[in-house]
Amino acid sequence: MEADYVIIGSGSAGAAIAYRLGEAGHSVLVIEYGGTDWGPFIQMPAALSYPMNMARYDWGFHSEPEPHLGGRTLVTPRGKVLGGSSSINGMVYVRGHPRDFDTWAEMGAEGWSFADVLPYFIRQENWHGGHSVWRGDSGPLHVTRGPRRNPLYHSFVEAGAQAGFELTFDYNGQKQEGFGPMEQTVWRGRRWSVANAYLRPALRRGNVRVISGLATRVVIEAGRARGVEVRQGENTRVIAARREVIVSASSINSPKLLMLSGIGPAAHLAEHGIEVIADRPGVGANLQDHLEMYFQLRSLKPVTLYSVYNYPGMARIGAQWLLAKMGLGTSNQFESAAFVRSRPGVEYPDIQYHFLPLAVSYDGKSAVKGHGFQAHVGPMRSPSRGTVRLKSANPAEAPAIRFNYMESEQDWIDFRHCIRLTRQIFAQSAFAPYAGDEIQPGAALQTDDELDGFLREHVESAYHPCGTARLGRRDDPMAVVDPECRVIGVEGLRVADSSIFPRITNGNLNAPSIMVGEKAADHILGTRLPPSSLEPWINPRWRETDR
């Protein structure tokens, strides 16, 4: 078993790399531990809460007890299935803000500024929102918008305008800041994961194949990656790479695999009896995520999805989807959004909103009986950082994941502001016909201490882990890969997925993870798309006001 390139992981970046390398005529083997993504729970967009809670599709990771959240242990879903986390995510499509990538470049990721990455976002997209020089129209990844038939979607955007905030037609185009429609990776009523967008077309060419098994380590000889050791049932074999090995196993499994292969903090590897091949203290460090809270109100009118949130209603939705790919089953229901700035002096948005016309938690469990609606809200750029570490040298054992959520006082300041700001938005006249009592946090909670108590118990991960093998200059001791995605200190080995993000981007991470795969493929092939000259919109009032 050998190929020109061996890719570990069939997720957002790995599938894109396989597609582009196969397109260039190379033989590619993709190692994926999970099974097929066929089935209604994955393919039906409205069923999104199911696959991320199913052991069949999810690695089942949990954080260690989080010291600043009262010792709570938070789930950390990662896709264990064809298409990786793109097959179990919420299907929300957000590129990130242009300034995010300019910051990457300033942090040492030369060649990853917004001008450099925009052509790859354009290449990956098939956007169905009309012609725009900012958007792609011929890429593998279909990007659409929900129908926004529920009046609450429009009330949310109107309330944002009434509160003095900007509106934006396309937050993935020139102007992210503002309230407007949300985008999703859904096409013809189905989840448009990278398995559908990239992997299946690549497999049809014949020079890309998927191998089932657990990657246990990268085989490194004389300082060069030669292949990947794979466990298949009771058997272990080595799959050889004639050219390179690419690790695209997620921001949790990629650093774990590097450490099992002898690449990581030397003292930590020695604790577990692992021979040190490259002492890279940045492996498993710099872990970041987005936290959010669900701000919920009762609805005065029966216009929410609660009317179908029962077994007969869901059966009808499922039948309509199965038979015709029509109806409520064809959307993730996140159809309005906002990106706003928290205070004067913040140059670009640092708060994200997802709006949902139902009061429900991400695991699909209803928090309240009756009609309600909610906004998911949270800060985008937390200063807190965590780690991924080995619990043992056993590849089958999950790593120790410590996010250190809410470690910084700034996190608490930002989240309190998110709660108070959301109260302002829902108090606008656009919501007057609908806004009932505040379900959570609850109107009785007003002081900083009261809000902190609620946050400690109720903030949840948005499931956007990243940063654990970050891009940087080769002389940066905390960098793991150089700007070409090559692992520093080992030949023939690259990492390309959300683990290489120097800093977390605005919004959901599927789109920038795919971009990383697209761009890494060009680095591997020795090609490059010319930089863009387009300039993003920055609020001219950013120094004076938050709106």
Q: Where are the alpha helices (DSSP H) in 96-141?
A: 98-106, 114-124
Rounded Cα gap, residues 417 and 441, in angstroms: 13
Other Cβ atoms within 10 Å of 161 Cβ, number = 15
CB 4 within 8 A of CB 25: no
d(CA 183, CA 91): 8
Burial 24-58 (b: 16+ CB within 10 A, else e): eebbbbbbbbbeebebebbbbbbbbbbbbbbeebb
Helix spans in 325-447 (H): 409-426
- In the annotated binding site for FAD, the residues are 81, 89-92
Dihedral angle, C-alpha 251, 257, 263, 269, nearest 10 °: 110
CA distance 217 to 219: 6
Distance CA 197, CA 37 (A): 13
Kindly list the distances between the CA atom of residue 426 and the CA atoms of 32, 162, 373, 378, 420, in Å, as whole numbers in the listed order: 45, 10, 11, 16, 10
Identify the DSSP state of 349: -
Among residues 335, 330, 327, 328, which one has the least CA distance to residue 93? Answer: 335
Contact, 81 vs 36, CB < 8 A? yes
Q: Which secondary structure element, helix H or strand E, spans residue 461, and what is its range?
A: strand 460-461
Total residues found in the chain within this entry = 547
Q: Which SS3 state, helix, strand or coil, does residue 521 take?
A: helix
Instruction: Just list the catalytic residues.
Output: 464
- Which residues, 6 or more positions from 62, have their beta carbon under 8 angstroms from its beta carbon? 73, 74, 75, 76, 398, 401
Binding residues: 81, 89-92
Q: Is 209 left (phi over 0), alpha (psi -120 to 50) or beta?
A: beta
* Pairing of β 235-247 and β 2-8: parallel
Q: In angstroms, rounded to a whole number, what is the distance separating the alpha carbons of residues 245 and 390? A: 22
Instruction: State the DSSP H helix or E strand holding residue 516, giving kind and residue range, or none if neither.
Output: helix 510-525
* Residue corresponding to tokens 């959901």: 508
